[in-house]
Amino acid sequence: MRIRFTAEQQAFREEVRSFVSQNLSDGAEFSDELRGEMGWSPAFSRKLAERGWIALAWPREYGGAGLGFMEQVIFNEEMSYAQAPIGAHRRGVFYVGPILILYGTEEQRRVHLRAITEGMGYYCQGFSEPGAGSDLASLTTRAVRDGDDYLVSGQKIWTADAHRSDYCWLAARTDPAAPKHKGISNFILDMHAPGVTVRPLVNMAGGHSFNEVFFDNVRVPAVNLVGEENRGWYQTAATLDFERSSIAVFAGTKRFLDDFAVVLRGRPRRQRDVFAVADLYTGVLVGQLLSYFIASVQEGGGVPNREASAAKLLSSELRQRASATALEALGPAGAVQAGPGALAGGLYVREYLAGVSATIAGGTSEIQRGVIATRGLGLPRG
Ligand SMILES: Cc1cc2nc3c(=O)[nH]c(=O)nc-3n(C[C@H](O)[C@H](O)[C@H](O)COP(=O)(O)OP(=O)(O)OC[C@H]3O[C@@H](n4cnc5c(N)ncnc54)[C@H](O)[C@@H]3O)c2cc1C
């Protein structure tokens, strides 16, 4: 397979780069904490919306830019390299929107796709529960039909950004008597509805991004059921495929390595650290090629599955190896988290601590290896 960008695609990359440098140039509007793929900045989301750049690969009729998946990858690369804060609209664009386009009603598309493309409807993802993570189909949060509504009760956990989202993209059990994969449905649940309680969970890097969420007889209008009742598992699985391919942002690791290489050049260094960095750059290049391959699968109308798992596995492990390599090469200086002695404001140790969760979020590395083994290599299920 030969990958070459067209002149138009190169020009598009330059356009995105220039937009980012103009809109993120002085950093005054976005603190460090807000930067990056998970960075949450409604102001930046709206700037992208004004430019028509929230949902590049969605069809125009749904408010998208009608561009190709390759343009979407180019865009993601530039955003990720610039550490632009796209977290507020990311789930809407990459996970929820594609499912609504495939399975939503006209009314759901009209209301919810428009909010997403205007940079306003923000989603968290309510899948995992205390007893259902890797084995997501064991989830027990219930949605019981009650007239024109469903009543939702149960608990979700590790729900990233639940404390600042408008909606929850929910997987709940609608038929407890059916085999576990066959009694699940998807809903759009209003996070401001009575009966929703969000409790923060602070991670080991001291950050608050995820939460526990409790639902106590929350009324969800039946018009917010997405797709057929009890057929939600297949949509949930497709959401995870979209999620895995979109979180594989290799350009972010390239940026980390580029910045780290500058620091390394100015210090006494060991040859093994230089080799380790070179090895990481090779991994980033492989990952970028994999991203282009995934875009070509999507361009052909497919949902990337084993490819998405491979990209997620590679990007999360690269991210961890990059920060571990940096900490090892920098010695104690790299481990200072705050104060005058902290290198790059404590970036290296922060990235090391935050990166631990990368091989868990979105499905653990073991689960990705299982998908690659069974669906990619055709090995029997264990
Ligand atoms: C930073 C972060 C953000 C997250 N955000 C969200 C979110 O927004 N919404 C959401 O719903 N969830 C979210 N999650 C939850 C995440 O999806 C789960 O943590 C993940 O799927 C693992 O589930 P678990 O924690 O229950 O671990 P378990 O499933 O209990 O796994 C425990 C261990 O057993 C291994 N294991 C389990 N099953 C198998 C198997 N079949 N084969 C081999 N090994 C296996 C796992 O790999 C792991 O090492 C987030 C998690 C993190 C860390």
CB contact set of 241 (below 8 Å; sequence gap of 6+): 303, 304, 305, 308
What's the pLDDT at 25?
Answer: 60
Pairing of the two strands 167-173 and 149-157: unpaired
What's the pLDDT at 371?
Answer: 94
Q: Which CATH class is domain 247-376?
A: mainly alpha
Q: DSSP string of 212-267?
A: EEEEEEEEEEGGGEESSTTBHHHHHHHHHHHHHHHS--HHHHHHHHHHHHHHHHTS
Q: From the CA of 19, how far away is ligand 1's center (Å)? A: 36
Is residue 284 within 8 A of residue 111, CB to CB? The reply is no
Q: How confident is the model at residue 119 (pLDDT cuts 50, 70, 90)?
A: very high
Q: From the CA of 212, how far away is ligand 1's center (Å)? A: 14
Mean pLDDT over the full length of the chain:
92
What's the pLDDT at 34?
Answer: 56
Q: From the CA of 364, how far away is ligand 1's center (Å)? A: 5
Give the position, in ligand 1's atom list, of the atom nearest the Cα of 128.
Answer: 11
- pTM for the whole thing? 0.94
Report the Cα–Cα distance between both ends of the chain, in Å, rounded: 33
What does the domain layout of the chain look like in residue ranges? Answer: 7-121, 124-230, 247-376
- Please choose from 40, 127, 128 the residue to mutate so as to test ligand 1's pocket, defined by most ligand atoms within 8 A of CB: 128
Q: From the CA of 57, how far away is ligand 1's center (Å)? A: 29
Question: What is the DSSP-derived secondary structure letter of residue 180?
Answer: G
Q: From the CA of 128, how far away is ligand 1's center (Å)? A: 8
- Name the nearest CA neighbour of 194 among 218, 170, 172: 218
How far is C-alpha 359 from the chain's CA centre?
Answer: 13
What's the pLDDT at 28?
Answer: 46
CA–CA dist 299, 320 (Å, integer)? 30
Instruction: Pick the more confident residue, 341 or 190.
Output: 190
- pLDDT at residue 223 is higher than 90: yes
Residue having the nearest C-alpha atom to atom 12 of ligand 1:
128
Helix axes 306-330, 232-246, angle to 10 degrees: 40
Give the position, in ligand 1's atom list, of the atom nearest the Cα of 370.
Answer: 42
Please compute the mean of the pLDDT values over residues 172-189 and round it to a whole number. 97
Output 295-300 pairs: Cβ under 8 A, ≥24 positions apart: 295/68, 295/69, 295/70, 295/72, 295/73, 296/1, 296/69, 296/70, 298/57, 298/69, 298/245, 299/68, 299/69, 299/70
Give the position, in ligand 1's atom list, of the atom nearest the Cα of 161.
Answer: 8
Which residues are designated catalytic? Answer: 243
- pLDDT at residue 30 is higher than 60: no
- pLDDT at residue 154 is higher than 50: yes
Cα torsion through 280, 284, 289, 295, rounded to 10: 150
Is residue 172 within 8 A of residue 226, CB to CB? The reply is no
Determine whether domain 7-121 maps to CATH 1.10.150.120. Answer: no
Please compute the mean of the pLDDT values over residues 76-102 and round it to a whole number. 93
Per-residue pLDDT tens digits for 328-369: 999 998 999 888 888 888 889 989 998 999 999 999 999 999
List all residues whose CB is within 6 A of at least one atom of ligand 1: 124-128, 133-134, 158-160, 210, 357, 360-361, 363-364, 366-367, 370
What's the pLDDT at 35?
Answer: 64
CA–CA dist 20, 82 (Å, integer)? 7
- pLDDT at residue 188 is higher than 80: yes
- pLDDT at residue 184 is higher than 90: yes
Residue having the nearest C-alpha atom to atom 50 of ligand 1:
361
Determine whether domain 124-230 maps to CATH 3.30.420.40. Answer: no
Fill in the amino acid letter for 101. I
Per-residue pLDDT tens digits for 300-323: 888 788 999 999 999 999 999 999
Please compute the mean of the pLDDT values over residues 24-33 and round it to a whole number. 55
